[in-house]
Chains A and B, each alone.
Chain A
């Protein structure tokens, strides 16, 4: 399982080890804790995007024509929303804390949009997700949805007032997500059989590439008439 999802497992290990390290730092050096926590938090957000790329790679794996569609969608949406939606809040926020909370909220909304688009496109192309990928995406969706609600509350009511809720809800969201992931990844479920993916007979990758080229050349001929 680690070979299939190396980034996902690295992220889980990072989160658990990071959590323990945070408690240690809080206990040993409370002065240093806020700066270290925000660094750990920002690295976590970046790691979540990488995990999303890894999950999206698996969605269209049986379909050679659009094998990279998941990755392409994730990268394009992340880059576009990163520039027009996430970056402004970092640049024009009054202080460091609202900037970081605003960034976390907008990053969560971006992840929610990516997940919704991936689910929709998977359904459109009849790609059956299977227990592993479906569970991973569901767990991530619960985590992202809870984060959106929690960070929106923190942004609206101020981090001082909302700190106790954030203190409980953040780990709770991750615990729920980890629970769904554990159940779905308990055993490696093979991808759904071919006849459940599509009614079309299977082909090898080269034959599909050839047919894609033929379709494009037929259409180009028509367009250049």
Chain B
């Protein structure tokens, strides 16, 4: 019985390999690469500024607390959550596009194993983990939840946080 299972694994593996090889050898561009949608880049300041608006809870708070429209505030939060997810997915798509960027002179490319290549791989891995976590947190808790848990319940951290935030708050008030 176990032999049959392993034989099935071997056949399934060969079929899988042939299928994947046919697609990776073909010169037709991949469907995920040739999407008509072009993701934005980090150099686009307007697009980055959009994230500050999406993840800023001031509008929803103003609607709920100052104007007294909690239902409208909830609708805004739901809409912002949808936008936040789309923004994060667009950031991920832009990153994937960057990862797929070939080098200008591949013949002179350094060999795999160099320190710079490992650092770039680490940055890629770190981004993938962070974006997956951010997407999960936004989908579960919404766009206005802290993405990194707060340690304000720890007495000494609360004190140090206050002392760290005070000058920043003063600066922001003076700028308004």
Contact = CB atoms under 8 A, between A and B. Distances in A.
Interface residues of B, number: 66
Nearest to A115: B17
A198 interface: yes
Interface string A169-202: 0000000000000000000001110101111111
Interface of B is mostly: helix
Contacts of A131: 25
A9 interface: no
B51 A116 contact: no
B109 A112 contact: no
A223 B41 CA distance: 19
Interface of A is mostly: helix
Q: How large is the interface on A (under 10, 10 to 19, 20 to 34, 35 or more residues)?
A: 35 or more
Nearest to A152: B6
Interface stretch (B28-36, B65-73, B151-159): B28-36
Interface of B: 2-3, 5-7, 9-11, 13-14, 16-18, 20-21, 23-25, 27, 29-30, 32-34, 41-42, 48, 51, 55, 91, 94-107, 109-113, 116-121, 123-124, 126-127, 130-131, 133-134, 146-148
Interface of A: 57-58, 60-72, 105, 109, 112, 115-116, 119-120, 122-131, 134, 137-138, 141-142, 144-146, 148-149, 151-153, 155-157, 190-192, 194, 196-205, 208-209, 211-216, 218-220, 222-225
